Structure 1
């Protein structure tokens, strides 16, 4: 992937992994736009990082996605990198009947539906500019962490979806990259700890390893423990599944 002279949109770019990548891309001289659903964080990014463009937009809302795509085409017609990073993670107990059936699939709407809708909304612009699409899935696409079962399912879906996209776009000039982070120390993972099969890394280390792979042209990037989890899924699936269940059992909420 060419890492300079690009116009880059990162969804969920106001904190955590998204913000870390936004700052690195900006450091390399790229024009970077980040989005987020919370206006308070948008204002905070504008104040702290004036080199970044920050726009409020919710990937779970189709109307906001359409409005964002229209605005990007008008204000940033040379946009040639889309990084689908926005996502949420919720602890779930699946042993009972959910009282909030709409809430039960919230992660599907954001993590999977958001990626699919945003990608489609920007497809014509990416093709016109022969751009790069980066979908952020997870090492948990390979093996689930049972305390966040729906989150893991969405990441497995994005892994499969990204592979299909790569095939369908092979003659368009659009480069399709998948970033599969391991457990990263962010607000989203505040309850996780190293040990029992989980190895945490910082956002700085994630960015360092990921950019090394991007420079090499790697299309499926597995930083940190991600490669190990992919291997363990093949050679010892029962063992690694049991380890991750042991690590996460205490985080499953009590049944309602």
Structure 2
């Protein structure tokens, strides 16, 4: 992947992994736009990192995505990199019923629906500019962390979707990349502790590993422990699944709980 002189849009770019990628792209001399749901957080990001462009937009809202696409096409016609990063997670007790059935779909709406909506909204720009689409999924696309069952299912869905995108776009000039992070030290993983086979890396380490792979032209990137998860899924699936259940069992709420 060409890493300089690009115009980059990153969803969920106001914190965590998204902001870390945004700052690295900006450091390399690219024009970078980040989106997020919370205007006060975006304002703080803009004040601290004035080179970043910030736009409030929720990937779960089709109307907001349409407005975002119209604005970007007007203000940033050279957009040639889209990073679908926005995501949320919820701890779930699958044995506990819930009266709020619509809430069960929130992770699907953001983590899957957001990627589908954003990709479709910006397909014409990426095609016209021979651009790059990067989907941020997870090493948990390969093996589930059972305390986050729907979250893991969304990442498996994005992995499959990205593979189909790669085939359908193969003659378009659009580069399709998937980055599958391991457990990363962010607010989303605050309740996870290292040990029992889980290693948390920093956002700086994730960016370093990911950009090293991007420079080589890799299309599916497994930084850190994600590579081990992919390997264990093939050679010892029962062992790795049981190990992750052991690690995460204590995080399953007694009643339906949520985070993210």
Task: Answer whether TM exceeds 0.5 for this pair.
Answer: yes
TM-score, normalised to structure 2, is 0.98
Partner residue in 2 for 1:112: 112
Query: Runs of 5+ in structure 2 lacking a partner?
Result: none
1:118-157 superposed Cα distances (whole Å, 9 cap, x missing partner) = 0000000000000000000000000000000000000000
Quote the residue 2:89 is aligned against: 89
Task: State the match for 1:178 in structure 2.
Answer: 178
Post-superposition Cα deviations, 1:194-215, rounded to whole Å, max 9, x if no partner, equal: 1112111000000000000000
Match of 1:78 in 2: 78
| CA positional deviation for 1:97 | 1.7
1:1-46 alpha-carbon deviations (Å, 9 max, x no partner): 0000000000000000000000000000000000000111111111
Q: In the alignment, what sits opposite 1:205?
A: 205
Is the 8 Å Cα contact of residues 197 and 240 (structure 1) preserved in structure 2? no
Mapped to 1, the partners of 2:36 and 2:229 lie a distance apart of 30
Aligned residue runs from structure 1 range 121-136, under 5 A: 121-136=121-136
Question: Does the residue aligned with 1:227 lie in a helix, a strand or coil?
Answer: helix
Aligned ranges for residues 1-256 of structure 1 at < 5 Å?
A: 1-255=1-255
Root-mean-square deviation over aligned CA pairs: 0.6
Q: Is the 8 A contact 1:92 1:147 kept in 2?
A: yes
Q: Distance in 2 between matches of 1:202 and 1:97?
A: 36
Q: Report if aligned partners of 1:87, 1:110 keep a CA contact under 8 Å in 2.
A: yes
Structure 1 residues without counterparts, runs of 5 or longer: none
User: Aligned with 1:185: secondary structure?
Assistant: coil
Contact 1:12–1:86 (Cα < 8 Å) also in 2: yes
Aligned to 2:83, what secondary structure does the other structure show?
Answer: strand
TM-score by length of 1: 0.99
Q: Deviations over 1:131-188 (max 9, x none)?
A: 0000000000000000000000000000000000000000000000000000000000
Structure 1 runs of 4+ aligned residues shifted over 3 Å read none
Alpha-carbon distance in 1 for matches of 2:3, 2:209: 14
Counterpart-to-counterpart distance in 1, 2:123 and 2:43: 28
Corresponding residue pairs, total: 256
Question: How far did 1:96 drift?
Answer: 2.2
Distance of 1:243 and 1:93 partners within structure 2: 18
Q: In structure 2, what is the Cα distance between the partners aligned to 1:100 and 1:195?
A: 35
